[in-house]
Structure 1
Amino acid sequence: MKRITLIFGLLFLSTSANALPAVTLEQAFEAAKVRSEELANQSELVTQAEERYSQAIGSVLPNINFFATYFKQDSGSANGSISPTEQKTYRINATQPLFRGFREYAALSQTTILAQAQSYRRDQAYLQLFEDTAQAYYQVLQAEQDLHNLQTEWDVNSKRLKDVSEFRRIGRSRASEVLTVQSNIATLEAQIESARTLLATFRAIFAFQTGLNKNADLVDQEVFPSQIADLNAYLDQIGNRPDMLAAKSSVAAAEKGATIARGGHFPLLDLGANYYFARPGFLQNVRWDAALTLTIPIFQGGIVNSNLRVAASELKQAELALSRTQRLAQEAIELTHAQLLGDLALIVKQRKAVDLSTRNYEAERKDYRFGLVTNIEVLLAMTSSQEAKRILDRAQYQFKINYLKLLGITAARPKLKGKI
């Protein structure tokens, strides 16, 4: 007896050790963040944009360089004190841009805005990843529930087949009634195989999205509302979407681009200075010099005006992109909101249908035992009841998918602050 108990204990421990941990939606999303190449790529683009800002700062800071020159020439008849045949020059040069037509400051502002825009694009990729993960997660749960419903329906039909076969044996059922139930069972078996294939497909998609085991046990711990807010409450959130913020930043950056192009009409002023460690000839005792250089553009082949036209076109392009982004966001919110309203209406009506069809099936079963209805009527009632349950479950999972999508496209979830 002790040996048998020990064997069962070891089997239990082995099963527990091999069991996969339950996975919530949040855990799946965390795994997807680590795995996502798109999110990592967007983060790298943010780093590059921030470095361009550092480069822009360098354009307004002084440039300091050390120069060393060795020069040798034919002695000829030249005066060696004025132009020695061998000359060595060592100097440090510093150049400070003083005025660039405000282009440098506009460029600094532009790179800051572009870095912020890229950060918003990363946030948008983050939201999209959440939507994709939630859809993959609930598609698996939906397929599991559908398979469970089909298997339950198969069990009910199998039990029904036993009853009909018994009635056939005592002469209360016809052979065609037995064949009808058997036909239903065969159809269900085909549907079950199809449902298993669909479940395997959704689990493969989930595993690809998250990197988790495809057979992981998914546990739904999300809380969903029984009603949703008015459409305007969600449309008011359009301005919070990262893609909208990125588009607005692109417009602001394009405006700075126009300022940069306009600066080509302004003069340039630079301060330059040299300190000499060694100089040849009669300047050998002159240790330093400095100069202010003013450059006034007179004619540059129309390049500046062309740059202005390009900048104006880019600004118009950015404004059009902003308008399109806003329209697409509004369309997505309106469409998803309408789908949610449809889901809720379907769920309410389908719950009533499930209740009525279940009660009808139970009544038909009782009547059949008293010979008041035919087996066909019982089968139709049973099929109607099971189909109503399947439609209800599908609608409930579709509501969950659409609701999480609505939260994503209004930037309500996941929270963006401190996400990475």
Structure 2
Amino acid sequence: SFLVFYSPASFSFTLKELYEVSLQNSEAIRVKKLDVEIARKTHSQVFSAILPTLSLSSTKTIREASSSAGAFGETEQTNSSIELSQTLFKGGAEYFSLPASRQSIKVSELNLKAYEIQYYDDLSSKFFNTLKLRQEINIIQRQINNLLQQVTTLKNRARIGKNRQTDVLAAQTQLARTVAESSQIKLQLQLAENDLRQYCALNNISELIDNNTVDSLKINSAWEQKILKSPNIEALEVQIEISDDQLAVARSSFLPSLKLDGNYYLQRSGILKDSDWDITLSAEWNLFNGGYDQAEKKKKLYEKNQYELKLSQLRRQKQIEFESTLTNFQQNIEIVKQLDHAVQLSKKNYEQHKKDMNQGLVNQLDVLRVLQDYLQTERTYNQYYFTTKYTWHKLKALAGETL
């Protein structure tokens, strides 16, 4: 087994395209799909237990001759027969096991769906984090370019005595600090891109496309009702039903079992060689086996109680998580609007300071400070912008939806 990377003709992806490709590539998702197939085969095995078994057997016995052994002491005995065996009753266990195994298929399918939704949530987080870092690199590079220009201007002005050498040093210090910060963000971006490629099993993702604006992200009124019908909640509900059947199977061990065996002899030796067939009806009632059956019944009851507690906890957790995420989304929407306005004002302030500097009303250090404020505000806006987008997709995932 080895990792196969998907190499599409185009390396540009929207979130939807990336998700669709990832579903095909992800080994973890393929494992979940195999779990479904295993559950189906397990159901087939359980079903086979209530059907009769048919077998062909043949034995040949050679023994030392003995005059006192009678008909059973023949030197050679050959027996060949077709054997049919049917369990008629096992306390009802065979009938309760069948719906339990059928429901196990549904649990596997729901677990697969839940994993695909969680995969979508994780992918959305990685997708928008990478976009955020790429945009942040663009912003900080603009800041570096502006600082380089400012340093050059200050050096020229310092030569003719219009600025102090300390002004040049202050600008160079800010430039060096910004370049170092840029290197740090580039490293974060490299790690984020590698993580995204590994998660999607792709060789290259050159461009990530997201044309949706924050204003276009609307909350579906049905999402809050859907969270209590998410696949992982449904899987626990079905698991409780399975526990009821498993508890019935455990109780069936206290009842007797009945089995029918039939043989048709193709060849037979000894005094019964003229008898072509026989039928045996066997009944067995296990009266005591050291308390194993009682312990098994209690264990299945406790397992059911565990699933009920997990279901209660998951419902509460999903409700709280949805409400918390919804509140964050609504607050972030307002913050993005406010920061967007702040970016516009900061840009105007920076442009006005450049005009005032040319007229001698402010100095270069004032312009540098305003530039720093402007680009820092833009970076903060960028962070909230992509965080808000991811939060919306998380709400969608909590409601059990994907793209």
TM-score (norm 2): 0.89
> How far 1:227 moved relative to its partner?
5.4
Does the CA contact (< 8 Å) of 2:214 and 2:333 recur in 1? no
> How far 1:221 moved relative to its partner?
4.0
C-alpha root-mean-square deviation of aligned residues, in Å? Answer: 2.5
Does the CA contact (< 8 Å) of 1:204 and 1:214 recur in 2? no
3-state SS of 1:236 partner: helix
Q: Number of residues paired by the alignment?
A: 395
Measure, in 2, the Cα distance between the counterparts of 1:66 and 1:336: 65
Partner of 2:342: 353
3-state SS of 1:265 partner: coil
> How far 1:223 moved relative to its partner?
6.1
Query: Mapping of 1:142-157 within 5 angstroms?
Result: 142-157=132-147
Partner of 1:234: 223
Partner of 1:388: 377
Partner of 2:6: none
3-state SS of 2:91 partner: coil
Partner of 1:4: none
- Deviates most, 380-389 or 67-76: 67-76
2:102 aligned partner, one-letter code: T
Q: Deviations over 1:142-195 (max 9, x none)?
A: 111101001111222333344444554555433333333232222222222222
The partner residue of 2:178 within 188, 208, 211 is 188
3-state SS of 1:274 partner: strand
Matched, 1:289 2:278: yes
Partner of 2:28: 38
- Deviates most, 245-254 or 103-112: 245-254
Matched, 1:275 2:293: no
Matched, 1:62 2:52: yes
Does the CA contact (< 8 Å) of 1:267 and 1:297 recur in 2? yes
> How far 1:373 moved relative to its partner?
2.8
Matched, 1:304 2:293: yes
Alpha-carbon spacing, 1:84–1:225, altered in 2? closer, same or farther (3 Å): farther
Partner of 1:202: 192
TM-score (norm 1): 0.86
2:68 aligned partner, one-letter code: A
Partner of 1:124: 114
| Structure 1 unaligned residues grouped into runs of 5+ | 1-18, 415-420
Partner of 1:362: 351
Partner of 2:18: 28
1:334 aligned partner, one-letter code: E
Does the CA contact (< 8 Å) of 1:258 and 1:308 recur in 2? yes
Measure, in 2, the Cα distance between the counterparts of 1:70 and 1:30: 62
Alpha-carbon spacing, 1:81–1:227, altered in 2? closer, same or farther (3 Å): closer
The partner residue of 1:177 within 167, 173, 181 is 167
| Structure 2 unaligned residues grouped into runs of 5+ | 1-8
Partner of 1:8: none
Q: State, as a whole percentage, how many aligned pairs show the same letter.
A: 24
Does the CA contact (< 8 Å) of 2:137 and 2:185 recur in 1? yes
> How far 1:263 moved relative to its partner?
0.7
Alpha-carbon spacing, 1:20–1:167, altered in 2? closer, same or farther (3 Å): farther
Alpha-carbon spacing, 1:276–1:222, altered in 2? closer, same or farther (3 Å): farther
Does the CA contact (< 8 Å) of 2:214 and 2:388 recur in 1? no
Alpha-carbon spacing, 1:97–1:249, altered in 2? closer, same or farther (3 Å): same
Partner of 1:256: 245
